[in-house]
């Protein structure tokens, strides 16, 4: 069984890892992580330009590496800010795809659902493919789908915590209620968290901190990429039901009378 | 001297670029500002007083005294 291509808005990816570039020590670290994992899609923020001097800009490097660039609205607290940021991203990158983040405060970085849904609705009406970062609320995920987003991206735990998937049951329920792509975003700490996300039925995983701030980012990028593929296959393989008591795997037949 | 000073002030003006004050010539376009600052135009977007200005209109967008220009690009994030 092969991993099937996944459509996210107008992007198509063959590798189910989306690499977040936040927290990387250098552009070289990002390039090494891209190469090690095989990711085809990386997220970036929109910020004031600074003269790069003689060094290569992040934009030029990502273009050279031929990865698709997914801009986000990181740092936006209101729908208004997020919509203008998405328009700026569209202008800078000539893409209609936006990862929508509208957060409530700096301490938790948790999504602000009221502003988020307003921004999602407005951006969809302006022709954007919206990939919406959200809390792990299955009903709200369905609400986002109903306003026309292209993917729902629930958190496993708050951004940067590396706490893994705190409520696997919610992710599992979201998988049942949301019929568009579901991407686990935020909270991944290590490879097994990514495998679990895929086993729960997510279509892809976004990992940033867990890779960029690992001691060896490229090695962790490879580990998480492999875990995602393992989880993808496991989800489709049809796992055995959990049982209370043991079930022998070796038949009794032919057993010696000792 | 007074005339010269007046003439000087009529030819330059103050604007804000990414939060910093900057003196530029009257009549400078948004496109001209990027040239002046030696900034790339690919992978870049601009807003004037919090409104996005589409790249194709940069050459004809003439800046005015006191305007707030934001010039943005991608950076690590997310």
Going from N- to C-terminal start, the domains of chain A cover: 12-237
pLDDT digits (tens, 9 = 90+) for B49-69: 989 999 999 999 999 999 999
**pLDDT band at residue B10 under the 50/70/90 scheme:** low
Q: Are A204 and A6 in contact (CB under 8 A)?
A: yes
**pLDDT over 70 at B6, yes or no:** no
ipTM: 0.84
Is any Cβ of chain A less than 8 angstroms from the Cβ of B36? no
Q: What percent helix, strand, coil does chain B show, rounded to 5?
A: 25, 40, 35
CA distance A34 to A207: 12
The residue assigned the tokens 């790069």 is A52
- The mean pLDDT value for A42-66 works out to 87
Chain B closest CA to A175's CA: distance in Å?
A: 23
Higher pLDDT, A172 or A56: A172
Q: Are A47 and A74 in contact (CB under 8 A)?
A: no
Q: Are A189 and A2 in contact (CB under 8 A)?
A: no
What is the domain count for chain B?
1
CA distance A62 to A181: 25
Q: Which CATH class is domain A12-237?
A: alpha beta
Q: Which residues of A touch B55 (CB under 8 A)?
A: 91
CB contact under 8 A, B55 and A71: no
Report the Cα A232 to chain-centroid distance in Å. 14
- The mean pLDDT value for A78-84 works out to 96
> What number of other Cβ atoms are within 10 A of residue A47's Cβ?
16
Tell me the residue range of the domain where B41 lies: 2-73
The first and second tokens of residue A245, run together, are 């008591």
Is A7 marked active-site? Answer: no
- CATH number, domain of B51, equals 3.10.20.30
pLDDT digits (tens, 9 = 90+) for A220-236: 999 999 999 999 999 99
One of A66, A80, A99, A242 is an active-site residue; which one? A99
**pLDDT over 50 at B4, yes or no:** no
pLDDT of residue A55: 75
């Amino acid at each position: 069984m092969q991993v099937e291509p996944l459509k996210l808005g107008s992007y198509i990816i063959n590798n189910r890892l989306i690499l977040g570039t936040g927290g990387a020590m250098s552009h070289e670290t990002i390039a090494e992580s891209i190469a090690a994992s095989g990711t085809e899609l990386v997220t970036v923020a929109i910020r004031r330009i600074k003269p790069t001097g003689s060094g290569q800009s992040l934009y030029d490097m990502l273009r050279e590496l031929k990865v698709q660039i997914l801009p986000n609205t990181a740092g936006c607290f209101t729908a208004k800010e997020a919509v203008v940021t998405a328009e700026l991203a569209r202008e800078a990158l000539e893409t209609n795809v936006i990862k929508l983040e509208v957060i409530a405060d700096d301490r938790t970085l948790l999504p602000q659902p009221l502003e988020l849904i307003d921004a999602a609705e407005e951006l969809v009406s302006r022709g954007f493919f919206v990939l919406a970062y959200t809390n792990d609320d299955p009903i709200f995920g369905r609400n986002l789908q109903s306003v026309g987003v292209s993917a729902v991206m629930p958190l496993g735990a708050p951004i940067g915590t590396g706490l893994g998937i705190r409520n696997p049951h919610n992710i599992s329920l979201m998988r049942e209620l949301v019929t568009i792509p579901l991407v686990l975003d935020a909270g991944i700490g290590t490879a097994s968290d990514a495998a679990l996300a895929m086993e729960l039925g997510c279509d892809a995983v976004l990992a940033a901190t867990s890779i960029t701030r690992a001691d060896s980012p490229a090695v962790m990028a490879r580990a998480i990429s492999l875990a995602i593929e393992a989880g993808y296959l496991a989800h489709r393989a049809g796992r055995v039901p959990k049982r209370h008591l043991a079930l022998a795997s070796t038949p009794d037949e032919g057993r010696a009378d000792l | 001297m007074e005339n010269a000073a007046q003439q000087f002030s009529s030819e330059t003006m103050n604007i804000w670029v990414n939060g910093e004050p900057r003196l530029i010539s009257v009549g400078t376009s948004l496109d001209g500002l990027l040239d002046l600052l030696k900034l790339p135009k690919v992978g870049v977007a601009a807003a004037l007083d919090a409104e996005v200005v589409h790249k194709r209109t940069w050459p004809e967008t003439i800046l005015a005294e006191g305007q707030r220009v934001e010039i943005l690009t991608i950076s690590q994030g997310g």
